Amino acid sequence: MKMKTKISLLSSFLFVGISLGQMSTYDQKIELQEITEDWHSIEIPSIVFEKVNQNLSDIRIYGITREHDTIEAPYLLQRSNEKTNIEDVDFVLQNTTRKENYYYFTFAVPTPKPINRIKLNFGNSNFDWHVVLQGSQNQKDWYTILEDYRILAIKNGQTAYTFSRLDFPKTQYPYYRLGLKSDKKPSLESAKISLTHSESADYTNVEVVKMKVKPLTSTKQTQTEITLAHKAPLSYLKIDVADKIDYYRPISIQYLIDSVETEKGWKYQYNQLTSGTLTSIAPNEFKFKSTITQKLRLVIDNHDNQPLHLSKIETKGYKHQLLARFSQPAVYYLTYGKPLAQPPRYDVSEVNFKKPENLTTLRLGQPENISKKDSKKINPIFEDTLWLWMTMGVIIIVLGWFTLKMMLKK
């Protein structure tokens, strides 16, 4: 009975040592202040993204109790993002007419619903048209909704680009008329009329501190390296072009994933974030999967054209927050910085788990490095020489006692 008690005591000390050692395997911590409820929200500060893994798998919330035990608080990671609701509206293409070089398409909307978007699909492979959109209650009096609105399509060996969507303020008419001027007959294959409602995401702007432009004459490209003020999760990039000409250039947006110093200098490895077309007829806005980085690279295909001059680059990313549950009193820390950490699995992340609303956001302390020296105080007991000798002594005594008992029986 006494031996079982000793073994139980040793096991308890071993468990506490391992638990206390959890935090020491991470690089940094930030104290969470003013915890007053079971649930709170935590805005992840920008400094955290300097250390975390790309998939944020190494974020933990650890608490130290009065008994010096380490406990873990579960959390739910939330990213702000856009919400778009598209409600298709039934319509009938009532008639198609022509007057000289002007072609008109009249749409009848049988139900009294507002709309703010018309998406057109033409069979023509190359066109550049300016259109007028009008609305009417009786097909006699027409009121202008859009005027001199440009749509186009370019398809050749170098470019494949189409822009044929009409966006306008919400309006409600039973009849709409689309007019365009063309030397060739437009082949309208299909159209989609809808009411689109979008809620913008909460973004955090990230400052661009450096832009380095490098012409690639051999490939007829322009490469622009972009350095941000700090590492951050990016999901949006906007490019302003200074040139006042028409342009349609394929573009690749890449992010730095690794760098190696060689005898010939630094070598950089990039992965692609997204690709698209840099164009003069629409805002050059690009959205992509949230990715943590500090360096971007834009590669623009100029073909046989003169390079474009980029006047401004705007970058920003979704705001990230944690919804955390605190089950018992302790001093809690947001802990991060462990390259091989696996994502945690908590009950609160399940789809059917009821999540609270209107949570109070916690105040954060200053980032602190987690000293690896601290781990000596909380290492598992068998790394301590005294405990090791004591354990070995107990084992020797037990084995000796059993051996002596067996010898006496013989």
Is 160 in contact with 154 (CB distance < 8 Å)? yes
pLDDT at residue number 385: 62
Average pLDDT score over residue span 392-400: 75
Is 83 in contact with 198 (CB distance < 8 Å)? yes
pLDDT at residue number 17: 40
Q: Whole-number mean pLDDT of the chain?
A: 88
Is 235 in contact with 245 (CB distance < 8 Å)? no
pLDDT at residue number 387: 61
pTM of the model: 0.79
d(CA 69, CA 250): 57
> Which residues, 6 or more positions from 324, have their beta carbon under 8 angstroms from its beta carbon?
32, 39, 40, 41, 42, 61, 73, 74, 75, 76
Q: What is the 3-state secondary structure (H, E, C) of 84-118?
A: EEEEECCCEEEEEEEECCEEEEEEECCCCCCEEEE
Is pLDDT above 80 for 15?
A: no
Per the listing, tokens 């696996």 go with: 342
Q: Taking Cα atoms as reference points, which of 243, 246, 224, 250 lies closest to residue 313?
A: 224
pLDDT at residue number 408: 67
More confident residue, 382 or 89: 89
pLDDT at residue number 260: 85
Is pLDDT above 90 for 357?
A: no
Number of Cβ within 10 Å of residue 332's Cβ equals: 24
d(CA 410, CA 401): 15
Is pLDDT above 50 for 156?
A: yes
> Which residues, 6 or more positions from 193, have their beta carbon under 8 angstroms from its beta carbon?
88, 89, 91, 107, 109, 115, 117, 118, 176
pLDDT in tens, 199-241: 888 999 999 999 999 999 999 999 999 999 999 999 999 999 9
Is pLDDT above 70 for 12?
A: no
**Of 21-25, 252-256, 359-363, 400-404, which gets the smallest average pLDDT?**
400-404
**Of 110-119, 247-256, 382-391, which gets the smallest average pLDDT?**
382-391
pLDDT at residue number 7: 36
Q: Taking Cα atoms as reference points, which of 261, 271, 204 lies closest to residue 231?
A: 204
